[in-house]
Structure 1
Amino acid sequence: MTDFDLGASIPPHTAHAVSVSLPTWKSNIGYEEGEDWVVGRMSTGYPRFFIHRSIQAFAADIVARFGPKDSKAFLFPTRQIAERCLTFVKAHAPPTVAASLDIVHLVLDTTASNPEALATLSPAISAVLCSQEGFPFVKQFWQHTGDGVSSRRAEFCHALFKDGLLRLDDGITETPPPMSPKPCRGPRRYQRTSSVDTTKATPSPKRNPNGDLTTGPDIQETSRFLEERFGRNLDVSFFQPAKSAIKRRIAGALRSDRELTASPPPEHEMESNSRGIVNLKEEDIYLFPCGMSAIFNSHRALLGVRGNMKSVNFGFPYVDTFKILQKFGPGAVFYGHAAESDLDDLEKRLEGGERFLALFCEFPGNPLLTCPNLRRIRQLADRYDFAVVVDETIGTFANVNVLPFADIVASSLTKIFSGDCNVMGGSAIFNPNSRYYAALKEWARTGGYEDTYWPEDVMFMERNSRDFASRIDRINANAEAICDVLRESPLVKSVFYPKFNESAVNYEACKLPGGGYGGLLSVVFHRHEHAVAFYDTVQTAKGPSLGTNFTLTSPYVLLAHYQELDWAEGFGVERDLIRISVGLEEPRHIVNVFKTALKAAEEMA
């Protein structure tokens, strides 16, 4: 997987791909500058930044029917989320912009024939209509929160909309039809041309005799109504068991690569888990449409149960985590180095009487792979009454166990848990031993939590994650081998990896006995020219995201912090840093790929 055209999806020919090819250093800059030679060729992009074509098409049809001329629409899965978007824009935009906003709520028309075939999926869309001037403000909410619709939900609901099966919500509550316990077949009037995870040029999936999905030239398959495709390829009757399996994998319980069954798994399975918390239950794990949604809603939950207080962002953060803490609530105190001296300063603040809602951190951090001292943070939290929220996406719960130190653990399932780079997802665990546990559970029970994870996305995530545990060892080993190659090169100034960082002792404190150091590393060269030559030459997939089953390389700081490069460098995050997410390739092959790229950089001298 190395030969990608500019703007092509990664993986190739995948309708719901999570990454996009930016194969040269210049193309990354062109993307950030909005140059048409890059942006005009992009078939897709990272979903929270690039609005998927399926979502754009549905939004355009909603505007054509309900909106003023030249308005835009952003699609959300529920009325409550759309209304939160309005509240956000009203707080941040000029009054004239806020006054132009409107919401259109579309729900399933339960008077249609055979509605039970659809009601199990709860298809609904709430569109926020805005002016051109309001677009960037609504886009901020979309990007930061991760609570926009998924491309699969948009594709499915758009088909219903075209067939007249979604109606304006007039506020009249109707009694829903009984949910069918069996997968139902939609009538032929519901048919449309579509695919679940392929483009028109790609053969659609079908099952082989073993029941596994393969690709084949079944032309009729691409013309089936989407609900029928659920019934054949992604059986909607297994939606709830799929969520259960995902949650148990996140807990590190026994259920891993088993085939799904309709009967619920025994509860005692949860007692033995890699989290080391025997009272952890399946219902303590909450699923979200993406990892940023998990972080945003964890923040919402804590504001809801603890009040309007500032938070602490500890360590150099993924960009949107800090934006959430800054823009939703009273703000945050920022410690960009995650050093012991930062904890000393925080402790002085606490001793002086300052109080905080929560401390948010990543373990390890992105992109410097720095690990905060969770033991000391936990001690401070217990003494001074603040919550601890840890994002374990990069460490992964197959390598580290951070739950004993946290009140909430968040993770992006989009990354290595899925691996296939074709579906989004996120999770948050409420630690049952947390002092805030009862209040958090009550918040969730009384409407704070909405399960908006689209069933089709759930089914893909369950399928992708079955071999999650078995992939980790290979990825860990490949990453260490690449680290060794880079560390030996005289062109390289720094390699960032948990095993070799100054904070390695903090990683070891959370590392599982059989765990490794993860699949993410970063490299900085002595000279800009060497970084460019290395990136342009390296024969891997090149684009945003991480945790893919194939190696994925990115000039991360250019993409994440292009408008604030000087600020990032103030925290040791150099603008020419290249981030490498290591995959499952044959070890000797992937090592040679990086040796070849280093040789090309050497020839620039």
Structure 2
Amino acid sequence: MTSIDLGDSIPPNTAHAVSVSLPTWKANVGYEEGEQWVLGTMITGYPRFFIHKAIQALGADIVAKHGRPGQSAMLFPTRRAAQRCADFIRDKAEQPSPVDVSILSLVLDPTKEFAEPLRSLSPSISAVVFPQDIFPIAKQYWQHSGDGVSSRRAEFCHGLFRDGLLVLGNRSPSPRSSPQQKLRRGPKRYQRGASIDGIEATTTNGHSTNGKLSPPPEEEADSIESSRFLEERYGRNLDVSLVENAKSAIRRRIAGVLTTDLDLASKSLPVMESNARGVSNLQEHDIYLTPCGMNAIFTTHQALLKTRPPEKSVNFGFPYVDTLKILQKFGPGSIFYGHGSAADLDNFEARLRAGEKFLALFCEFPGNPLLTCPDLARIRQLADTYDFAVVIDETIGNFVNVNVLPLADVVVSSLTKIFSGDCNVMGGSIILNPGSRYYGALKSAMTDVFEETAYWAEDVVFMERNSRDFITRIDRVNANAEVICDALEAHPLVTKVYYPKYNESRPNYEARRLPNGGYGGLLSCTLKTKAHTVAFYDALETAKGPSLGTNFTLTSPYVILAHYQELDWAASFGVDPNLIRISVGLEDNLGEIFAKALQAAEKVELS
């Protein structure tokens, strides 16, 4: 995948793409500095950082109809999520008077019987409405929590809103039509008349039944037209009858018990094994699907805060940026061990022995972007001794390569990445270990903090389709990543390759690697100078933008994108500002592509 213009979606021509093209080093810096020559070209972006234009459009229309001039709206799938955002805004806004924040809940109009077939989808929207100058605070909540609506939900609900089917939830129902009145079942052009006494007649071969009159031909045509309207305007790719089976298929793939393709409409799903993922009694209901990976972390943290005394958490190892932000901004705060080393564990153990208490330890396996792996066995031993929960993010390692659940109380993952691969849908997962001492309390807490309807049905359908071949894709990505690593390791301009196979923490990875598992599809590297790095990056003929785990190779100057305002802080933990992160795809010619980019770096003349 090459020659994607600046600001175009990745993949190209994809309405709900998860990435955006930033094809040069200069473009990435321009994006971070808010330069219009970059921002003005962007038709999309990573969904938690760039609010999709379909979401923006619906928010603007909601404010125009129900708000006031000078207000903005942030959209959420449920009232509870919106309330959390409103609470966050009020808590963080530093103003002399209380912030004017309100929540508008929009639901299917209860007076429109035409909308009845849509109710099983729960196509609701809760809008947090606030003054425009508060937007940066609301955006923080959107980014950190992953609670916001998906672009597909917004697109779907915007159609309902325009057609008058999505209304304020506290709207009083209008009086029922009298028997002499026609019952309106949709937009004016799609109205269907009732029988003369207000009860629909059942007909056979055009004749009346039960003494009722048959509808005239034009009314029968209206009925067909109304059904077509529902199907074409709101149905699209969404077969509602398959959504629950699709969720079940995803959960069972995550559990490792569904490894083959199947027809959701006609085949029963495989029975969960008693030792799935290496633990006893893991059940499908122990696996929760969330709108995105960060929301899996956020929801887990919320559940832990309800389960245990409100102590600080530990972020162990250099983290993905928003994990640390969640622990810092929601609840009592956090302790950060950015190296994730044995020395850090020694320090942590000393604090535990001195009597300090902690809510939980959060870590990634491996970490992003240095691909180091913490000593999970030692962490588990400390957790059992000193009573704190262990939450492991397996997104990078993925459960085809490693098995971390036996050592965790909770495992989280971003399904947006290699599980999907197509870079066109978001999703996340939470697995509760049934053997955890906190299992019962967490199950109870999840009934308060987890909402099944938050993950939009259409996104579920796309995720299920995308994930059917994820095992074979991972095997190929593992092999391709090793080819690239070997090429980079052998080149004199490359100063460091970060990959589980080459890192000092390899023994920790090997301890959790499955018999047929590889080392994953993510790696990072540094070159001798910034000039060499820029030349290499600009010459790489891969897609270049945020995200990872795509079926195509996706490259980014990760530290510039994730930590531009804190480069010195990142460097203090060994994260080079000029590090390049490579998410390896399925291409056949990656060796040639990287050799060509290295040749471009060789031509750099240093003064």
Provide TM-score, normalisation by structure 2: 0.89
| SS class of match (1:110) | coil
| SS class of match (1:533) | helix
- Cα distance in 1 for residues equivalent to 2:346 and 2:439: 28
Q: 1:576 to 1:601 in 2, by over 3 A?
A: same
The reply to whether residue 343 of structure 1 matches residue 345 of structure 2 is yes
Aligned to 1:200: none
Letter in 1 for 2:288: Y
Q: 2:247 aligns with which of 243, 254, 264?
A: 243
- Cα distance in 1 for residues equivalent to 2:186 and 2:488: 55
Aligned to 1:117: 117
Q: 1:187 to 1:509 in 2, by over 3 A?
A: farther
Q: 1:272 to 1:436 in 2, by over 3 A?
A: closer
Give 1:255 shift: 4.8
**% identity of equivalent residues:** 67
Aligned to 2:262: 258
Aligned to 1:455: 457
- Cα distance in 2 for residues equivalent to 1:95 and 1:553: 41
The reply to whether residue 15 of structure 1 matches residue 19 of structure 2 is no
Aligned to 2:357: 355
Q: Deviations over 1:491-522 (max 9, x none)?
A: 01100000000000000011010000000000
Q: Please provide the CA RMSD for this pair.
A: 2.0
Aligned to 1:202: none
Letter in 2 for 1:86: A
Give 1:448 shift: 4.7
Q: Deviations over 1:9-58 (max 9, x none)?
A: 00000000000000000000000011000000000000000000100000
| SS class of match (1:275) | helix
Aligned to 1:440: 442
Could you list the structure 1 runs, at least 4 aligned residues long, displaced by more than 6 angstroms after superposition.
Answer: 171-174, 185-188
Farther off after superposition, 128-137 or 400-409: 128-137
Q: Is the 8 A contact 1:97 1:134 kept in 2?
A: no
Letter in 2 for 1:525: L
- Cα distance in 2 for residues equivalent to 1:273 and 1:422: 33
Aligned to 1:139: 139
Mapping 1:420-569, distance limit 5 Å? 420-446=422-448, 448-569=450-571
- Cα distance in 2 for residues equivalent to 1:17 and 1:186: 32
Letter in 2 for 1:27: A
- Cα distance in 2 for residues equivalent to 1:256 and 1:229: 33
The reply to whether residue 234 of structure 1 matches residue 247 of structure 2 is no
Give 1:120 shift: 1.1
| SS class of match (2:512) | coil
Q: Aligned pairs, how many?
A: 560
Q: Deviations over 1:418-445 (max 9, x none)?
A: 0000000000000000000001111123
| SS class of match (1:270) | coil
Q: Deviations over 1:223-254 (max 9, x none)?
A: x7575477563311000000000000001113
Letter in 1 for 2:357: R
The reply to whether residue 61 of structure 1 matches residue 56 of structure 2 is no
Letter in 1 for 2:375: N
- Cα distance in 1 for residues equivalent to 2:89 and 2:299: 18
- Cα distance in 2 for residues equivalent to 1:120 and 1:278: 34
Unpaired stretches in structure 1, ≥5 consecutive residues: 175-184, 192-223
Q: 1:128 to 1:386 in 2, by over 3 A?
A: same
Letter in 2 for 1:83: Q
- Cα distance in 2 for residues equivalent to 1:491 and 1:355: 46
Farther off after superposition, 136-145 or 246-255: 246-255
Q: Deviations over 1:348-388 (max 9, x none)?
A: 00000001000000000000001000000000000000000
- Cα distance in 1 for residues equivalent to 2:349 and 2:508: 18
- Cα distance in 1 for residues equivalent to 2:367 and 2:328: 19
Give 1:186 shift: 8.6
| SS class of match (2:445) | helix
Give 1:133 shift: 1.9
Larger Rg: 2
Q: 1:172 to 1:187 in 2, by over 3 A?
A: closer
Q: Is the 8 A contact 1:103 1:129 kept in 2?
A: yes
| SS class of match (2:519) | coil
Letter in 1 for 2:164: G
Q: 1:95 to 1:529 in 2, by over 3 A?
A: same
Aligned to 2:90: 90
- Cα distance in 2 for residues equivalent to 1:498 and 1:376: 19
Q: Is the 8 A contact 1:103 1:127 kept in 2?
A: yes
| SS class of match (1:271) | coil
Give 1:527 shift: 0.4
Give 1:114 shift: 2.6
Provide TM-score, normalisation by structure 1: 0.90
Q: Is the 8 A contact 1:71 1:132 kept in 2?
A: yes
Unpaired stretches in structure 2, ≥5 consecutive residues: 175-184, 192-227
Letter in 2 for 1:387: A
Letter in 2 for 1:160: L
Give 1:70 shift: 2.2
Give 1:113 shift: 2.8
Mapping 1:376-415, distance limit 5 Å? 376-415=378-417
Q: Deviations over 1:124-177 (max 9, x none)?
A: 111111112210110000000000000000000010000010111118799xxx
Give 1:95 shift: 3.5
Give 1:87 shift: 1.1
